[in-house]
Structure formats: C-alpha cells, structure tokens
Homo-oligomer: A and B are copies of this chain.
C-alpha cells in the first residue's frame, strides 16, 4: 500500500484529479517499488497486468526486432504514467535508465477504478493524447531528418525537459545532464552510436555546444542549434 498523502508527484500525476477519499482508495491498491538502473519492469509481448506512476528516475519504452535491433519509443519521467490500461499485453518493454521508484497497480483493479472515476480517466486521456502528439512528431524525425538534424532536435527537446532539474545550483541556461549514454541516444534517434558520437563531436568543434563530461551538455548557440534541427 502506498502513502499518497506524502507522494512527491501527487500534484502532477494523474492522481491529482482525486479527492482525499478516492486517493486513499487508490493508495490501498498501489504499492511502491524500487527499480535499479538497467532493470526491466515490463517485457514486450508479456501479459504482465500492471500499470504504474513514476515517482523518481527515468525509464525507457523499447521495441525490439527478432534480430536484436532496438528502438526507444518513449522516455518517461517522474509523474508520468506507465503501462497499457485496457490492453492484453504490453506492446513494448519498460526498462529503468537510472535507479527509479514507481507506484505500481494491478491493471485490472486500475481499469475498474478508472472506469468509475471519469476525472481520472479524463486526465489519462489528455496524457495519452499528448504522448500521441509527441510520438507522431518523433515519427517525422525518424523518417525524414538527417543525422545532424536528429541530434540537434533531440538536444533541444531534452534541454526543455531537463533544464532546471538540478535546479538553482550553478547550472546555467542551456546546461543539463542527460540521464543516458551514447548508445541510448542512438536508440532514440534511430542512428548508430558512432554516428551519434561523430555528430556531437562535430557540434563541439563548430562551437555550438560543449561536452564537459560524458553526460553533460552545454548549448552555447541555441539559435544555430535550432537552425540545425530543421
């Protein structure tokens, strides 16, 4: 059982639509679970009947081919929702990219609860619509953009989503730390790790950004970056 009253994402997650009594009822159905970086919470094609809210950390949604190629089809942050309500099997794997903590529900229980709480369902609908827009926008990137455009677009989106996470303390505008390595960037962009690395190196050479450490990015020339994003 989860303690929703003190939940850190309480106001941003779909739970925000509930009154205290409803929240208590939902809390009784859920339980907190820690997930280590690299650990997989849901397997593609698996019938695992769970959904969850992300409390802490970053997780990826991955689709794979039979021969082992991977495409990351989504990245979820705290307060985001995971899983497939009203579904049979998970259409993708969910794996933690950092140590993470999630609030897990049995899917059938959750589906039923959602069915009798229209406000929750509407929040879920809005979220799903936003995710769909993001996915479709990403389809344009995957299908039609060049390697440099992909990397530039990616960095701009990440900068928006991540800036001010390590907030206040010393991080300037345009500076952020990615929660993942080169291979995972490549898996997001539909590129190889080598191409990704080369593009980043070139951008540094061109003075558009700086790479202080493996996972840190500092965007110097945002205008140039936006031009490159196509």
Contact = CB atoms under 8 A, between A and B. Distances in A.
Contacts of A206: none
A85 interface: yes
B230 A92 contact: no
Q: Which of A73, A124, A137 has the most CB of B within 10 A?
A: A73
A38 interface: no
A189 interface: yes
A56 to B, nearest CB: 24
A67 to B, nearest CB: 7
Copies of this chain in its oligomeric complex: 2
Closest 5 CB pairs of A and B: A143-B190, A142-B142, A73-B136, A118-B118, A63-B140
15 contacts: A61-B136, A63-B137, A64-B140, A65-B230, A71-B143, A85-B129, A86-B126, A91-B136, A115-B122, A118-B118, A118-B121, A125-B125, A125-B128, A135-B136, A143-B189
A3 interface: no
Interface string A62-82: 011111011101100000000
Interface string A114-155: 010010011011101101110111111011110000000000
Contacts of A143: 71, 142, 189-190
